[in-house]
Amino acid sequence: SLMYDTMHQLCQELAITESFLVKHITDTATNLLANLKNALATNRWASVFISFKKSPPPTVIHFEDGVKIDDEQFRRIIDEIRSCRYLADKMALIQRNLHSITDLVDMLEGACLFGAEFDAFFRVLGDMELALLWKRVPPEAIVLSLHFTESEQEWQHRLATFLQSLAPTRKEKIEKLCAQLRQTRPNRTWLDQ
């Protein structure tokens, strides 16, 4: 498009070669183009605002499927998470202290998160972490509630619902990661549900 040609010409004329600057210019041009198209469609040019403030990078929490922390330390962390009033404080404690999927699952089953907090928490996880969690949900857990505690059922149901709400391309990516983790083709998908 003309915008990208102009952006490329600007980078050439100003001898901008650093990748982070070129990326910043590209991102800014993309956002500006979207704003301009919207203003053109609605005939509201006064609403076009060019912000020079850099948007913060999205928070993503990464866990490793590593060594589980000892029980005493885990209980102390869980008690601390439960005593938090705000989700942001809970998430900071989780990010700082829990570094394995096993600990994360134990935390999810430990009545630390409630209701919409699950969705907010799942939103900050990366695709691999979501796949690692989904891998741990038995297929019958979503359909049958037999032999599962209430806290096991809640996080598993919330995860399934969250995954169903994702864009199809992201769901497919997570599903493929999960299949790779299982070393087999997935025996069920949330796309089919």
Q: Which amino acid is at 97?
A: N
Domain boundaries, the chain: 2-47, 71-182
pLDDT over 80 (residue 33): no
Q: Per residue in 53-97, pLDDT tens?
A: 655 554 444 444 567 889 999 999 999 999 998 888 898 888 888
CA distance between the termini of the chain: 40
Asked if 117 contacts 87 with a C-beta cutoff of 8 angstroms, the reply is yes
Q: What is the DSSP letter of 58?
A: P
* pLDDT at res. 49: 63
Q: Residues 158, 162, 163, 168: what is their CA dihedral angle, to the nearest 10 degrees? A: 160
